[in-house]
Chain A
Amino acid sequence: MTARRRMLDAMLFRRPDRVPLQPGGGRRSTLEAWHAQGLPADVLDYNEYAYRLAGGTLPWPVADSRFRVNERLIPIFDEKVIEERPDSRVVQELERQHLRNRQGVYGRASARRD
């Protein structure tokens, strides 16, 4: 059964051969901690690696397919420093709009304290 069919069957209350195994995604700080705790730095897919460590032997499914549709501003705002202050910086910036690596699209001025 393909990964696609397995996910569709799960989402649509049919009976896949197995429920998709999608443990989750670590934040950058999480990955930094895991590397210090034993996750090798050269491991690309830590979920498959964890599955193998847990004794899993089944073929790991293919990644999701991609077809990107850009809903954002075209053109986007330029990122630029508007004002330097003694203790902060006013910046027109791009904003990350989505937790799953979509980039936001508008300019904002923000006071940033480094």
Chain B
Amino acid sequence: MTRRWIKCPVENRKDWEDLQRRYDADDPTRLPADAAALGARLADREGYLQLHFSGPFWQLREWVGFEGLCTLFHDDPGLVREMIAFWESHIARLLRRAFERVIPDEVHLSEDMAYKCFSMISPAMTREFILPTWKRWGEIVRGAGVPVYGMDSDGFIGELIPLWIEAGINMCDPIEVAAGNDLPAFRRRFGRAMAYRGGVDKRAMARGGRAIEDEIARLRPVIDDGGFVPSCDHGVPSDVAWPDYVRYVGLLAKATGWL
């Protein structure tokens, strides 16, 4: 089956105004039905707790489509700003409501805003349009005492990390090696201002044998330095054979102190 998008939810201002009615941040069903009791139980939790939200770039792309968004930045920047402000307010309200019930260990944003070699919009445009929202959410997150403020983006993120650090983001994933992300180099460049999850080359997992041994050895200095939870740098693809995956888990277990 192949598919092709022929219409996106927002194609004109009327679509946009209609859509906003479906985003009532105070709708009680946006939190778990037993939010108070669940939050009380989670105060003494043993498991790590993340809250996930879509970032502005991700969400506007969902509304207007990728090409539509990229042209909209140029053709109608005022509407882009309006949509970002709306989403910022929506998520800010949800953060505050959630924090009344539970303080998570991490607030994690999804943006997926990079190609293999570059950011999908320039760092300058990211700074102008997106960074202020990341910062203001970060103030809420930090103000509530949430220690980890994370960001997810596939693709090459080397030119985005400085902006994330500026926004107060202190963890990112999944650090795709095939996109040219070099984790030891990132650690040298950004020091301990950024922690990472992921970073293990899925292609080396597929090759197995010496390739995966070398890959874990490549990452070992960062594992030992801290601020890094090594994991496959995206979903494990089907060309990773089960015996090679078991071998990889064993190597990873040794490198992380589990064997």
Contacts and interface: CB of A to CB of B under 8 A. Distances in A.
B225 to A, nearest CB: 8
Nearest to A58: B258
Contact of A53 (B52, B106, B246): B246
Contacts of B197: 22
B63 A7 contact: no
A23 B231 contact: yes
B30 interface: yes
Contacts of A7: 48, 105, 229
B49 interface: yes
A110 B6 contact: yes
Interface residues of B, number: 82
A97 B232 contact: no
B7 A65 contact: no
| Secondary structure type dominating chain B contacts | mixed
A63 interface: yes
A81 to B, nearest CB: 14
Q: Which 9 A-B pairs have the closest CB atoms?
A: A24-B232, A54-B250, A18-B257, A65-B47, A19-B256, A37-B242, A50-B249, A73-B22, A109-B7
Contacts of A25: 232, 235-236
Interface string A18-39: 1111111111011011100111
Interface in B200-259: 200, 223, 226-232, 235-238, 240-243, 245-250, 252-253, 255-259
Interface of A: 2-4, 7-8, 10-15, 17-27, 29-30, 32-34, 37-39, 47, 50-51, 53-56, 58, 62-71, 73-77, 90, 95, 97-100, 102, 104, 106-114
A54 B251 CA distance: 9
A108 B63 CA distance: 9
Given A3-B47, A27-B235, A51-B258, A67 B229 contact: no
| Secondary structure type dominating chain A contacts | loop
B26 to A, nearest CB: 11
- Most chain A beta-carbon neighbours within 10 Å: one of B19, B30, B249, B257: B249
Contacts of A65: 42, 45-49
B240 A30 contact: yes
B126 interface: no
Contacts of A70: 29-31
B103 to A, nearest CB: 10
12 contacts: A3-B46, A8-B48, A10-B195, A11-B227, A12-B147, A22-B229, A26-B238, A33-B242, A100-B52, A108-B9, A110-B4, A112-B3
Contact of A108 (B7, B52, B243): B7
